[in-house]
Structure 1
Amino acid sequence: MLDISFAGAALAGMLSFFTPCVLPMVPFYLCYMAGISMSELQGDGGIAPGARRRLIVSSVFFALGVTTIFVLLGMGATALGQAFAQWKQPLSYVAAALLALFGLHFLGILKIPLLYREAKIESTAEPTTIAGAYLMGLAFGFGWTPCVGPALASILMVASGMGDISRGALLLMVYGLAMTAPFIIAALFAQPFLRWMQRNRRFLPYVEKVMGAMLLIFAILIATNTVNRLADLMIRYAPGLTGLG
């Protein structure tokens, strides 16, 4: 059966990757994990086989590190939601209000200074090792950027109302995998990806606008308690989607 929460988490994850404060960092992460310079990464001669192998393996473990943090956050949010289950209705209004604020932040109508802060952890492990790439992913998962922070917080709010820790963890796993899968694709096709980035950089601000609009819509759905009704309508008029989620 279609679960709009999981579909929304996947969409939010993909949009998070393509936001202006995540996508421009990707070339530097690729260089750092492959152990090569930017000129080598962008050169016409191609990437050396050893560096390419390091890059691909490191990107996978980086993605696992990021997703690990998200899954743990999802479990924590769900457990917290269970503890406050008796106040579910008033808390849903609070969640809707916060989602609306995040949406306005993405749209550029309202700027929230707290969302421009980052939490970082330092690691002495080399990023070109499996352990280093995984720890780097953990560090990235802890980074609260203006782009990832609001989207991630929004998904956590949804997880808190699921009532099942395993479902909350799965929701955040979907978000994490959707956000990091493009990173692995970028590692597999590093040079064509960089050329694509250069050609389409001007469209990045529009990704934020789309996410902002999506958060506002979701805020309205939560406030009016019509999320499940929308899912039922989608199943009724698009039965092919019932296999999702």
Structure 2
Amino acid sequence: MDVSLWSAFAGGVIVFFSPCILPIVPFYLSYMAGSGMAALNEAGELPADIRRRAVISAVMFSLGIITVFVLLGAAAFSVSQAFRAYQDEFRLAAAAIIALMGLHFLGVIRLGFLNRQFQMEAGDTANMSVLGSYVVGLAFAAGWTPCVGGVLTAVVMTASFEETAMQGLGLLLVFGVGLTLPFVVAAVFIKPFMRFVSRFRRHLPKVEKAMGLLLIVFAVLLVTNRVNEIAYWLLETFPAFSAI
């Protein structure tokens, strides 16, 4: 079992349920489906054509995000290989950056550049094409939200230390799937999802704090070079994982 892959997937899922992403998902779905928020909120089932368009758009939006993440993984691995003689220094610098982001999410410090995020202008989206949803996904990933940036940095740094380029790319691919799969599920079950968002909103600050704590723990593991020990501990504690 490659624990880093499971960690990357879990990181993507956690980011989806973060304060930066979850509250804006209904808006993104309505924007790309070409329908207003009123149509998504009204009682009853959505028309089949709107539901189908929302699902297809969500898939293309997700592919756009994953494309950017995979390219980031390739770039990070290339840089890491170019400076392989300085890998220890590279690892410590990565730990420092991740720790700063963790402190930001815990509210200990506030980093202004992490508050930068991609926003879409409201307008007529009834004629948005499938390709348009893919482009919006590219723009979203390139303009990242602060919650995406923190965990994404940790995953990119992990990818840069992998033994092969394919392992690094796979790590970012899995992270992208973890982040975007709930988006597609939300499009399929959009009515229950809208109700879930309204109930879960009060827990968003807790998710942000949990993200910060996880980033701090990961930074400590990088500094002490003990990331692999987590994998061994999991296998010893939960032998069933070895069959996965």
TM-score band, normalised by shorter chain: over 0.9
Distance 1:141 1:104 in 2: 23
Instruction: Name the residue aligned to 2:25.
Output: 26
Normalising by the residue count of structure 1, what TM-score does the alignment of the two structures yield? 0.93
What amino acid maps onto 1:212 in structure 2?
G
Residues 76-117 of structure 1 deviation map (CA, whole Å, 9 limit, x = unaligned): 101111111100112211111111111111111111111112
Aligned equivalent of 2:145: 145
Distance in 2 separating the partners of 1:85 and 1:121 = 40
Cα distance in 1 between the residues matched to 2:96 and 2:4: 18
1:89 aligns to 2:92 (yes or no): no
Counterpart residue identity of residue 151, structure 2: A
Unaligned runs of 5+ in 2: none
Secondary structure at the residue paired with 1:106?
helix
Q: Root-mean-square deviation (CA), in Å?
A: 1.9
* CA offset digits 1:11-41 (Å, max 9, x no partner): 1101111111111111111111111111111
Hey, what's the Cα distance between the residues in 1 that align with 2:219 and 2:199?
A: 34
1:227 paired residue number? 227
Matching residue's letter, 1:98: I
Aligned partners of 1:70 and 1:176 also within 8 Å: yes
Q: In structure 2, how many angstroms separate the alpha carbons of the residues matched to 1:129 and 1:180? A: 19
What amino acid does structure 2 have at the position aligned with 1:169?
A: L
Q: Quick one: distance in 2 between partners of 1:81 and 1:52?
A: 43
Displacement of 1:237? 2.2
Aligned pair count reads: 242
SS in 2 for 1:11: helix
Q: Which residue of 2 aligns with 1:43?
A: 42
Shift, 1:166, TM fit: 1.0
Distance 2:230 2:50 in 1: 47
Shift of 1:200: 1.5
Structure 1: state its 5+ residue gaps: none
Q: What TM-score do the two structures reach when normalised by structure 2?
A: 0.93
Q: Which runs of 4+ in 1 moved over 4 A?
A: 119-122, 124-127
Superimposed CA distance per residue, residues 157-214 of structure 1 (whole angstroms, 9 cap, x where no aligned partner) = 1111114211111100011000001100110011110011111210011111111111
Shift of 1:127: 7.1
**Distance in 1 between the 2:79 and 2:24 partners?**
33
Identity %: 43
Q: Does the Cα contact within 8 Å between 2:73 and 2:169 map onto a contact in 1?
A: yes
Note if 1:171 corresponds to 2:184.
no
Confirm or deny: 8 A CA contact 2:34 2:125 kept in the other structure.
no
Q: Distance in 1 between matches of 2:126 and 2:85?
A: 47
- How big is the shift at 1:3? 2.2
Residue 110 of structure 1: SS of its match in structure 2?
Answer: coil
